[in-house]
Amino acid sequence: MTEDAATHEDAPAETESTPGFEEIGITGPVLAAIKALGYETPSAIQRETIPLLLGGRDVLGTAQTGTGKTAAFALPILENLDLEQRKPQALVLAPTRELALQVAEAFEAYAAQLPGVHLLPVYGGQGYGVQLSALRRGVHIVVGTPGRIMDHLAKGTLDLSELKNLVLDEADEMLKMGFAEDVEQILAQTPEEKQVALFSATMPATIRRLAQQYLHDPEEISVKGKTTTNANITQRYLVVSYAQKVDALTRILEVENFEGMIVFVRTKNETETLAEKLRARGYSAAAINGDIPQPMRERTVGQLKDGKLDILVATDVAARGLDVERISHVVNFDIPTDTESYVHRIGRTGRAGRSGDAISFITPRERYLLKHIERATRQQPAQMQLPTTEDVNSTRLARFDDAITGALEETGRIEAFRDIIAHYVRHHDVPEADVAAALAIVAQGETPLLLDPANDALSAAVAADNRPPRADRAERSGGRDSRDRDDRGSRPERRSRGDYTPYRIEVGRRHRVEPRQIVGALANEGGLGRDDFGAITIRPDFSIVELPSNLDSSVLDRLRDTRISGRLIEIQRDSGRPNRGPRGDRDDRGYGSRDDRPRRDDRGRDDRGYGDRPRRDDRGYGSRDDRRSDDRPPRKPRHKD
């Protein structure tokens, strides 16, 4: 489900003068699909934008996240799609893979009754094989992040020669993330004759310049959202990296006193995966998504109502209109990037005057969404702390006590077991307290009853994710953080050196990479946050990036196929000994004997292609622009004639 579906379900009734989708040009299978989704009347931005795009005009839209803009550009694209053409006709650029996936799912929902439409999401973290196969077969619509789109263009696997529609979604966020150069390069490789729609929450000068250069006589539209939420719902959030989400959810489930719960995830596959993981951990959970037949979905919801099921793992579309009195909690396992969808989700609890709880997991690089949610809901979600091992142990002991109390109330069965215990005590000369403890071990099985506080890696990892942003630290310290950098290299206060491990990636200065490109690619494809990056050292042919020492192996798996500037980065732990002698034999520059040092040619370049080491700027990075001015004599080569 997308931002737009939520717009129409819980919105107040429109006046009779409000035009329907038919009146603004949506027809046939596309109209049937959105009506099946429950859409009745277009939102403000849809009323303004759809007729313009259907008429061929370029659009420059100022719209907050959650105003319904996905359908505003997706419906006209589908309405004008030529199913006979196999090359991409529409390209949607989004700043993050989360938004790209969400937009792709919206297209799928709107095209549900338009057979033969081929859509491809292109984003980091997904293997290239899947994307290459789809591109070879032919796709009509591509939705992707700038970095991965650039990689396909560099490899020649994405042909934009017949592109008719280009959409820049969340343009201001793309520029903030350092994608300005990539976006311009992508735009330069598209046909001159095309329709462009640019949407941005703000309209800074950089966006204006981009629009003036690439949009033709655009119509400007400005729409503000008016979303509010039920005051009976308590909203909380936890900053947690992707790799720790399942463990964090499990710990919250142990401590929270809930009746029924809906856990929202972004994709259909994730509903099944997460539900299976929760069942393996002892919870009564089931998945519900658009692929599950309606009779089975109704049966699952019935089990939730009857108390036979406690947790429903769902996508947005599957949970539309769900009203179950037992739902006391909603968890946004994957936070939606649009506020309308957020409001729709948490509205599944706190119905009819009842109170409810909404908990959202936010990765470190999704913190900016909190401001969108606060503006849209007119409420400020409270930051929560991950329950400690002591909290979990206290809860487990309380439940264990309750279980014993409940068993003691079964007087008939207790009397029979008294005789068995007495018989064991007489024949084995063991105190009754020891027998009771042994029976508790038998009942508990192999799983320890209590967690070990000394072995709590999860709390340490989540605590690192929950450190306040740089601005908050600077404010508390009364001034600017001494480690603040400019926008190209900003990152929070550094961890201790022992918290990081150096990793080598096979792109360097001669590939024209900069620190922001490395951070953007690894963060986007590996799900990393700003706190996860230590020092970045760019060498001519490779770079060294410091990443957390406790980095989960799944993150490295997602980074295996990552490309920067079209090159596979081949990330691996840095041994510190490429082309060098034994560590103990090095001189103070890392080389062994003089004979081990690279030989240099007449131009001062060594046999590995390295020239003189460039000067470093005040951030410790070299630069291609670090050239000497003409009024200073050139430095002599270090080699001997």
Question: How sure is the predictor about 632, in pLDDT bands with cuts at 50, 70 and 90?
Answer: very low
Using alpha carbons, select from 453, 65, 450, 457 the residue that is nearest to residue 241. Answer: 457
Domains of the chain, residue spans: 3-223, 233-387, 390-453, 467-574
283: confidence class by pLDDT, cuts 50, 70, 90: very high
Average pLDDT over residues 85-97: 91
Most confident of 39-43, 276-280, 415-419, 464-468: 276-280
Look at residue 121 in the predicted model and tell me its pLDDT: 93
The CATH architecture that domain 3-223 belongs to is 3-Layer(aba) Sandwich (3.40)
The 10s digit of each residue's pLDDT in 559-601 is 877 888 778 899 999 876 544 433 333 333 333 333 444 444 4
The answer as to CATH 1.10.3720.10 being correct for domain 233-387 is no
pLDDT at residue number 591 = 38
Give residue 478's pLDDT.
Answer: 39
CB-based contacts of 255, cutoff 8 Å, min separation 6:
387, 391, 392, 395
Residue 59 clears pLDDT 90, i.e. is over it: yes
In the prediction, which pLDDT does 31 show?
A: 93
State mean pLDDT over 105-134.
88
Q: Six-digit token pair at 378?
A: 């007119």
- The SS3 of residue 605 is coil
> By the 8 A CB rule, do 384 and 236 touch?
yes
19-56 residue pLDDT tens: 889 899 999 999 999 988 878 788 888 999 999 999 99
Q: How far is CA 538 from CA 170, 542, 574, in A?
A: 30, 7, 13
Arithmetic mean of pLDDT, 173-198: 88
Q: Judge whether 3-223 and 233-387 match in fold.
A: yes
For 341, 364, 511, the CA distances from 546, given in Å and listed in that order, are 36, 17, 20
Highest CATH level, class, for 467-574? alpha beta
Give me the chain's average pLDDT, please.
77
Residue of 146, 144, 141, 158 whose CA lies nearest to 183: 146
Whether 4 shows a pLDDT value over 70: the answer reads no
Give the pairing type, strands 195-200 and 500-505.
unpaired
Backbone angles phi, psi at 157, to 5 degrees: -95, -5
pLDDT per residue as tens digits for the range 320-370: 657 788 899 999 999 887 777 788 788 888 865 678 899 999 988 888 888
The mean pLDDT value for 482-493 works out to 35
Instruction: Give tens-digit pLDDT for 196-222.
Output: 999 987 788 888 888 888 999 999 998
pLDDT over 80 at 489, yes or no: no
- Residue 321 has what pLDDT? 59
CB 509 within 8 A of CB 622: yes
pLDDT of residue 236: 93
Mean pLDDT of 492-508: 71
State the pLDDT at residue 548.
87
Angle at which helix 205-214 crosses helix 180-188, to 10 degrees, equals 10
| Closest C-alpha to 71, from 219, 197, 211 | 197
Residue 178 CA, chain-centre distance (Å), reads 17
Residue-level pLDDT at 17: 59
